[in-house]
Amino acid sequence: MAKNPKKEERKKATLGHFDHDDFMEKLSKRIKTLRKQNGFNSYELFAYDIEISRAGMSKYEAGAFDDIRMRTLLKIIDGLGISPKEFFSDGFE
């Protein structure tokens, strides 16, 4: 079947531009580091305060998760008292 000359080729998305596992590890470290730096010594109390599960928070800090909901990540960042821009400003080259 002949190509329609009027139809443009679409740009296709590709993967492999960065290491996803490395990014997730950096995300975990950043969450834990900032929690401690901001004076929240207990991940359990921090999780309680921002209304997420303690088990989930433990997994996020340990890097033992495959996925994190955007709303959950935003709760964590907001609970740390910083903006998303500040959160991602260090450690995510």
Alpha carbon 8 to chain centroid, angstroms: 35
Domain membership of residue 41 (yes or no) is yes
Number of domains composing the chain: 1
Domain hosting 55: range is: 25-87
**In CATH, what number is assigned to the domain containing residue 60?**
1.10.260.40
**Residue 44 confidence class, pLDDT cut points 50, 70, 90:** very high
Asked if the structure places residue 30 within a domain, the reply is: yes
pLDDT level of residue 48 (50, 70, 90 thresholds): very high
DSSP category for residue 11? P
For the question of whether the overall pTM of this predicted structure is more than 0.75, the answer is: yes
Cα separation of 83 and 72, whole Å? 14
Domain membership flag for residue 69: yes
* 71 domain residue, yes or no: yes
Kindly report, residue by residue over 6-22, the tens digit of the pLDDT.
778 899 999 999 999 99
32 within a domain of the structure (yes/no): yes
Q: Is the pLDDT of residue 40 over 60?
A: yes
